[in-house]
Amino acid sequence: MKTETTIQGLSASLSPARSARKIIGFVPTMGNLHEGHLNLVREARKLCDVVVVSIFVNPIQFGPNEDFENYPRTLEQDSRLLADVGCDIVFAPSVEQMYGNKPRFTNISVSDITNDLCGLQRPGHFDGVAVVVTKLFNIVQPNFAFFGQKDYQQLAVIRQFVRDLNIPLEVIGVPITRAEDGLALSSRNGYLTEEQRKIAPSIFQSLKAAEQELHNGVSLVEVLENIKHTLTQAGFIVDYVEARTPELQKIEAFNQNVILFVAAKLGTTRLIDNLQVKQTV
């Protein structure tokens, strides 16, 4: 496995693969890797000849009160994990390498599907994601790019701008990887105290309970209220509990497949999760 820290170095490393028309798979990450990320790499490994993983904590997707400075940076450990799952090239650029020292004037914004859920709580976040992911796509020029369904709204935003801008690659969404107790894996889980970590699986439990309720005919509104109640009782501060279509449009009743979305804080740590509940015919 090679590690490249410059765009030029990465291009040189990828050049033989490109000339040979090999299938390039790309997994963009912010590092601090867990099994969720490694499953993305395993998926890429299955479909592609060459697997590139980027590790870049992107400053422009963090809000002023978010955790950019303290976001965990664990490149050595990440590299060992990536080598084990068959990553070919790690791309770990500096902020200067990605953004240069001239001012950036270009922004990419995706409207409509960013207006609520995490978009509401994190203004500018998805613009920052769209810009950095577009840059990385242009640098790596992969055939396939892999993203986790845990950040479902992010995945939808990426699918949207890839389609709207005719970016020549296929986006693959990979199901959420969970701990044995159901907690969706996330780098931010590392911020939880031992006590909070014990409470955290309530999110997934409440989503699974909601799935059952929906199948039992409980109304969507009531089901969402129940999740909120459960999580508040468990000690969360709930940001939102929402239902959407798979295309992120609002939905009033369980009359088609629905995605249930939760964002909730334990102390200062904000956790998100989602579950698709399928209409049984």
The catalytic residues are 37
Q: Is 148 annotated as contributing to ligand binding?
A: yes
Nearest distance in Å: CB 163, its own copies? 8
Which residues of the chain form contacts with its own copies (CB under 8 A)? 7, 19, 21, 100, 102-113, 130-131, 134-135, 138-139, 141, 160-161, 163-168
Q: Which 3 state secondary structure label does DSSP give 167?
A: coil
Q: Which helix (H) or strand (E) holds 211?
A: helix 202-215
Nearest distance in Å: CB 108, its own copies? 5
Q: Which helix (H) or strand (E) holds 20?
A: none
Q: Is 34 annotated as contributing to ligand binding?
A: yes
> Token match 């940076």: residue?
73
Q: Is 143 annotated as contributing to ligand binding?
A: no
Q: Which 3 state secondary structure label does DSSP give 266?
A: strand
DSSP 61: G
CA distances from 98 to 57, 138, 144 (A): 11, 12, 21
Q: Is 35 annotated as contributing to ligand binding?
A: yes
260's tokens: 């249930």
- Specify the residue, 37 or 244, whose C-beta has the smaller distance to its own copies: 244
**119 neighbors 244 (Cβ within 8 angstroms):** no
- Specify the residue, 77 or 109, whose C-beta has the smaller distance to its own copies: 109
Nearest distance in Å: CB 141, its own copies? 6
34's tokens: 């867990």
Nearest distance in Å: CB 218, its own copies? 33
- Specify the residue, 156 or 258, whose C-beta has the smaller distance to its own copies: 156
What radius of gyration, in Å, describes the C-alpha atoms of the chain? 19
Phi-psi region of 144 (alpha: psi -120 to 50; beta: other; left: phi over 0): beta
Side-chain-facing half-sphere of 132: CA atoms under 13 Å: 25
Beta strand 237-244 pairing with 258-266: antiparallel
Q: Is 11 annotated as contributing to ligand binding?
A: no
Nearest distance in Å: CB 130, its own copies? 8
- Specify the residue, 119 or 201, whose C-beta has the smaller distance to its own copies: 119
Beta bridge partners of 276: 259
Q: Is 235 annotated as contributing to ligand binding?
A: no
- Specify the residue, 219 or 245, whose C-beta has the smaller distance to its own copies: 245
Give binding residues for ATP as ranges: 30-37, 148-151, 185-188
Give binding residues for (R)-pantoate as ranges: 61, 154
Give binding residues for beta-alanine as ranges: 61
Give binding residues as ranges: 30-37, 61, 148-151, 154, 185-188
